[in-house]
């Protein structure tokens, strides 16, 4: 083995181990945060007994789930029933592979007593796999996650689970379209789908949340639907379908669905941070864009973690605030609102970009600001539609009806 190959291998293995464990520990922490934050919203205390501040509550729950009995419904398709949680779990872990989580690590060249010399070829990008297909890979992988849920619903041979599985299938496919459409705007602006390129473009101009405000909005709504979080948790709907697709699951098989849901959330949040909030970019400074160093890598990693965590907190806060959609309303929102909006948005962004290029404006802050202005104009109209005249028009009393 050449030192270069060994260096490549070392970097890859370390990154995989670190990211995998960070995600899994992150899932545990996020479950804890969800419970604490919901407690905060609901004037309760939440879990605070196991470990400091109850931080080890998820560990205790995990141990409990390991100990619990594995049950199989008598009429279940045993193979698919066992396979379904795995099929939901693996894509949830894979999605993170293409997301850069820090600025590049400086190249290394060192020798170890038995193993010999390790050399990296240039800087080490802090992404597990900087695939040329970029975030399309994430979309593809999350589509596979649907199979786990649909198969779970089908193989349980339970009517509740079946309805949950059907809902999940329809919902996730519908919102994937809107999600993909919202990302086309990003592609237009970047001209590439590689996430490191996306982040680089944002460093050149400004975070895409500004020039692609509405795109972010569409993406966020779709991400909520894709991760089956409230207000889109129709595959679960504990009040209608008992527990939806995982009604018949127990112990670790249930846990895997649970972990998959949260790791999907982490991936979605990381993607939002990477696509629209500059990824690991630190705002108001170009220090992080210079020559790679270990400190820069670590600091940007923390910054990226913070951005992701903010979105996760948003996921949690929304879950404990909103009621749930009805299924036809969900479909209505996906197909009749988000999809036309996304299509119109693509047109608008494409036209503006074409006009800017024709005028010879160089890609940069001015370029982005013009797009931001276009977004503001559109969002005003959008608000007017969504708001049904409550804040702006003032002509109708809105949704609320008075009782005589």
Partner 1 sequence: MAKRTLEVDLATTGVDAQGNPITLPLGVDADAAAQASDGPALAGEHMLINIGPQHPATHGVLRLVVELDGEVVVRVIPHVGYLHSGFEKLGEYRYYNQLIPLTDRMDYLAPMSNNVCLAMAAEKLMGVEITERCKVLRVIACETNRIISHLVWLGTTSIDMGAFTPFLWCFQQRERIYDLQEMWTGARLTTSLTRIGGLMADIPDGFEDGLREFCKTFPKTIQEVDSILSNNGIWCGRTQGVGIFTAEQALDYSLSGPLLRASGVAYDVRKDRPYLDYETYDFDIPLGERGDVYDRYMVRLEELRQSTRILEQALDRLPDGPINVDDPRITLPPKSAAMSDMEAMIFHFKQVMEGIPAPVGEAYFSLEGPKGELGYYFVSDGTAKPVRWRVRPPSFINLAALPAMCEGRLLSDMIAINASIDIVMGEVDR
Binding mask 120-159 for partner 1 (x = CB under 8 A): ---------------------------------------x
d(CA 380, CA 391): 11
Contact with partner 1 (CB under 8 A): which of 223, 230, 272, 349? Answer: 230
Nearer to partner 1 by C-beta: 41 or 80?
A: 41
* DSSP states along 249-270: --HHHHHHHHHHHHHHHHHHHH
Binding mask 270-309 for partner 1 (x = CB under 8 A): ----------------------------------------
Contact with partner 1 (CB under 8 A): which of 226, 233, 248, 281? Answer: 233
Q: How many CA atoms lie within 13 A of 318 on its CB side?
A: 19
d(CA 288, CA 286): 5
Specify the residue for token string 């409230």. Answer: 230
Compute the Cα dihedral for 286, 289, 290, 295 and give only its sign: positive
Torsion of Cα atoms, 84 then 86 then 89 then 93, to 10°: -140
Piece of the chain touching partner 1 by CB under 8 A; list 40-48, 123-131, 289-297, 359-367: 40-48
Q: Are strands 116-119 and 102-105 parallel, antiparallel or unpaired?
A: unpaired
Regarding 242 and contact with partner 1 (CB under 8 A), the answer is yes
Piece of the chain touching partner 1 by CB under 8 A; list 28-36, 217-225, 322-330, 351-359: 322-330
Piece of the chain touching partner 1 by CB under 8 A; list 39-47, 72-80, 251-259, 270-278: 39-47
Minimum CB distance to partner 1, residue 21 (Å): 31
Minimum CB distance to partner 1, residue 85 (Å): 22
Regarding 324 and contact with partner 1 (CB under 8 A), the answer is yes
Alpha helices (H) along 277-364: 294-319, 327-331, 339-359
Minimum CB distance to partner 1, residue 382 (Å): 14
Cβ 148 vs Cβ 87: under 8 Å? yes
Nearer to partner 1 by C-beta: 135 or 245?
A: 245
Phi, psi of 10 (to 5 degrees): -60, -50
> Which element (helix H / strand E) includes 271?
helix 251-276
Regarding 323 and contact with partner 1 (CB under 8 A), the answer is yes
Helix (H, G, I), strand (E, B) or coil at 114: coil
Cβ 101 vs Cβ 304: under 8 Å? yes
Piece of the chain touching partner 1 by CB under 8 A; list 38-46, 70-78, 289-297, 348-356: 38-46
Minimum CB distance to partner 1, residue 41 (Å): 5
How many residues of this chain bind partner 1 (CB under 8 A)? 36
Nearer to partner 1 by C-beta: 286 or 400?
A: 400
- Non-local (6+) Cβ contacts of 393 within 8 A are 384
Piece of the chain touching partner 1 by CB under 8 A; list 89-97, 134-142, 225-233, 344-352: 225-233
d(CA 255, CA 257): 5
Regarding 401 and contact with partner 1 (CB under 8 A), the answer is yes
- Non-local (6+) Cβ contacts of 32 within 8 A are 47, 54, 55, 57, 58
| Residues at the interface with partner 1 (CB under 8 A) | 38, 41-44, 159-160, 163, 230-231, 233, 237-240, 242, 320-329, 386, 388, 390, 398-404
């Amino acid at each position: 083995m050449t030192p270069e190959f060994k260096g490549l291998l070392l970097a890859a293995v370390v990154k995989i181990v670190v990211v995998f464990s960070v995600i899994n520990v992150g899932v545990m922490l996020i479950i804890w945060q969800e419970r604490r934050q919901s407690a905060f919203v609901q004037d309760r205390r939440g879990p605070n007994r196991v470990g400091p501040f109850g931080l080890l509550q998820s560990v205790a729950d995990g141990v409990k789930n390991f100990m619990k009995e594995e049950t199989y419904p008598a009429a279940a398709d045993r193979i698919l029933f066992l396979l379904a949680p795995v099929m939901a779990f693996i894509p949830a872990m894979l999605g993170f592979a293409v997301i850069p989580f820090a600025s590049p690590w400086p190249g290394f060249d060192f020798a170890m007593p038995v193993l010999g010399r390790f050399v990296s070829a240039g800087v080490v990008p802090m992404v597990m796999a900087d695939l040329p297909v970029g975030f399309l890979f994430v979309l593809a992988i999350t589509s596979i996650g649907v199979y786990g849920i649909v198969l779970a619903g089908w193989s349980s041979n339970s009517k509740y689970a079946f309805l949950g599985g059907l809902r999940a299938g329809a919902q996730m496919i519908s919102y994937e379209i809107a999600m993909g459409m919202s990302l086309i705007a990003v592609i237009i602006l970047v001209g590439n789908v590689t996430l490191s390129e996306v982040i680089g473009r944002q460093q050149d101009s400004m975070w895409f949340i500004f020039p692609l405000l509405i795109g972010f909005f569409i993406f966020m709504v779709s991400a909520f639907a894709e991760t089956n979080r409230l207000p889109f948790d129709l595959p679960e709907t504990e009040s209608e379908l008992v527990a939806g697709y995982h009604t018949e699951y127990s112990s670790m098989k249930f846990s895997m669905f649970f972990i998959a849901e949260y790791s999907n959330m982490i991936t979605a949040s990381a993607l939002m941070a990477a696509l629209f909030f500059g990824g690991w970019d630190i705002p108001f400074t170009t220090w992080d864009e210079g020559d790679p160093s270990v400190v820069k890598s670590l600091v940007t990693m923390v910054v990226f973690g913070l951005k992701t965590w903010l979105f996760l907190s948003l996921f949690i806060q929304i879950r404990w605030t909103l009621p749930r959609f009805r299924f036809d309303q969900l479909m209505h929102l996906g197909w009749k609102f988000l999809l036309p909006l996304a299509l119109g948005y693509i047109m608008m962004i494409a036209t503006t970009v074409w006009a800017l290029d024709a005028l010879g404006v160089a890609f940069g802050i001015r370029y982005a600001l013009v797009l931001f202005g276009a977004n503001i104009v559109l969002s005003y109209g959008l608000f007017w539609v969504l708001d049904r005249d409550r804040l702006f028009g003032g002509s109708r009393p809105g949704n609320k009806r008075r009782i005589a």
